[in-house]
Structure 1
Amino acid sequence: MNLIPQAPPDFRSGFVALIGRPNVGKSTLLNRVLGEKIAITSPVAQTTRHSIRGILTRPTSQIIFIDTPGIHKPRHQLGETLVMTARSAMAQVDVVVFVADASTECGAGDRLIATTLIPNTMLPVLLLNKIDLAADRQEASYQALWSVPTPMFKVSAQTGEGIEHFLKGLEALLPSGPYYYPPDSLTDQTERVLCAELIREQILHQTTEEVPHAVAVVIEAMEEQPRITRIRAVIYVERDSQKGILIGKGGQRLKEINTHARLAMEEMLQTKVYLEVFVKVENRWRQNPRTVKALYPQ
């Protein structure tokens, strides 16, 4: 049984929201900070759909990171739900970390987040990511988003450069507080959600641009046995053509998705996994508020 210990008098703790445009590296950053993979990553924008909590416990602090969906202009009900998820996360935290791509100049999407979504009472921490790719870092254009100087850190989530300096600075901004989770916790996500995300990650990596955004994955059954965990998953798409792309010629692509996802699950669960994956068509599910709510409850 995991017990939550009494925190020492000088212990700091709190909740930190990671926000920013799609594809600035928030999920890669979270995985780097924790030293474990709890958030899926891909080159595809809007990869994150859940508000994922990552729990980092250090000798003098416990930082609960909330990785939010990339904020963008919604084009359907799913997009509206993702933006609402990000907005909700910002209203419940001690610190907002605005993650930006150091290799690109501040754009309209960044200004939208800074001016309309971050609470007026909260000055965010500016985190410039991807410094390993930035020959000419665009920090001045991001600092100009606020009328007063904001704390700024520069990191590479890919290489780890600057991460420890960022964590020490973030720790100093948190209030004195208790352990919110047992010290050995990494996330509050259920194994079902994590397994569904591992399947979706493989889809993001292996399919054409048409398919990833129209995909949702649900774990219908998960049965833990002494030597193996049996998992049944359903992949939802919006059109028959997308189903055909996912299955592939002779079922080869679906087999590849299954194999890579199963291996990732075995590493995460530390047990053998038997994985069954099925593909179903749910016409225009991203436009249907009831379906979106069922698949991505707030």
Structure 2
Amino acid sequence: MTEDKPSKCGYVAIVGRPNVGKSTLLNYLLGQKISITSRKPQTTRNQVLGIKTDGNTQIIFVDTPGIHSSEPRAINRFMNRTAAAAVNDVDLVLQVCDRNRWTEEDDLVLSAASKSAAPVALVINKVDLLDHPDQLLNFAETMTQKHNFTGVFPISALRNKQLDTLDDFIADKMPEGPHFFPDDQVTDRSERFLAAELIREKIVRQLGDELPYTTAVEIEDFSLQGKTLHIAALIYVERDGQKRILIGEGGSRLRSIGTDARKDMERAFDSKVMLKLWVKVKSGWSDDLRALRSLGYEDR
């Protein structure tokens, strides 16, 4: 931290409807992966803090589940509560939307974001998929009539386009104050949590159509033995048929999920990883508040 400039530190909530690229944006702003991603909506279930320290400025990003209008199960209600609460006590809200697509769920997000005392900026993601620049101009003009956004930023989080401008804007909005976290810390979540999320990401990516939202992961062992990290995880599903799909013929699907997750874990933890996976049927876990708490889904 340089002596001639005061330190700055603030919180930034990243909100949006499901599948607009919030977690991808967070990972690119941080320069490393802490939030899982997939093409399936509602991949993110928990609030995750991503911490970026650059010289005198520390930015604490709050990644949230997508706000959605349907709340059929307890886990859906939990996700909506988590996302809506994220706009409280932050210094900036980033509402992420998908290029020229605005839905009723985007209006729901904007309604929640507008209740924050913090300024709200609009981040228009996936602009690389637009056919013509005029589409972006027309869409941006329509959006500015919906709300007095403090800024409108067209970006592509996946292609890393125009993120520098957004990055500078966020840093400029941070208030003066001491850093809340050590400068080398990148998330408030434990390595056990990240390990469980990496496993769940591979399940969603490989079996999203067959098992969209019916799995949860619990880490039973996370221990360093010599130079090898030993991780044992239990994957919960709700029905026997889902267990068969997840295991696959001769265990092939479970092995594939384990292999992909282990590679990501070795990069994330900078260690050789020995990963063991089991599958267990826990009927109705996604609509059972006690089960959700036992699996780590708690309001923070």
Tell me which amino acid in the other structure corresponds to 2:126.
K
Identify unmatched segments of 5+ residues in structure 1. Answer: none
- Tell me the residue number matched to 2:94: 97
Aligned to 1:131: 127
In 2, the alpha carbon distance for the partners of 1:112 and 1:93 equals 19
Which residue of 85, 91, 97 maps to 2:82?
A: 85
> Of the candidates 46, 49, 53, which is equivalent to residue 50 of structure 1?
46
Residues 229, 187 of structure 1: alpha-carbon distance in 2 compared, 3 angstrom cutoff = same
The Cα shift of 1:114 comes to 1.2
Aligned residues: 292
Note the C-alpha offset of 1:256: 0.6
**For residues 109-162 of structure 1, what are the alpha-carbon distances to aligned partners after superposition, in whole Å with 9 as ceiling and x for unaligned?**
11111124541533311111111112322223322321x343111211012111
Quote the residue 1:291 is aligned against: 291
Asked if the contact 2:38/2:204 (under 8 Å) is kept, the reply is: yes
The offset of 1:103, in angstroms, is 3.6
1:293 CA drift (Å): 2.0
Aligned with 2:129: secondary structure?
coil
- Aligned pair partner of 1:119 in 115, 120, 129: 115
Q: Secondary structure at the match of 1:65?
A: strand
Q: Is the 8 A contact 2:113 2:120 kept in 1?
A: no
**Distance in 2, Cα, partners of 1:196 & 1:7:** 40
Normalising by the residue count of structure 1, what TM-score does the alignment of the two structures yield? 0.93
- Alignment partner, residue 17 of structure 2: 21
Distance 1:257 1:149, change over 3 A: closer
Q: 1:261: how far off?
A: 0.8
Offset of residue 21 of structure 1: 0.5
C-alpha contact (below 8 Å) 1:21/1:110 kept by paired residues: yes
2:113 and 2:58 map into 1 onto residues whose CA distance is 26
94-103 or 196-205, which deviates more: 94-103
Normalization by structure 2: what TM-score?
0.93
Partner Cα separation in structure 1 for residue 158 and residue 218 of structure 2: 29
Flag as ranges the 4+ runs of structure 1 deviating above 3 A.
5-9, 120-123
Secondary structure of the 1:214 match is coil
Could you say if the C-alpha distance between residues 89 and 208 of structure 1 is closer, same or farther in structure 2, counting changes exceeding 3 Å? closer
**Superposition RMSD in Å:** 1.6
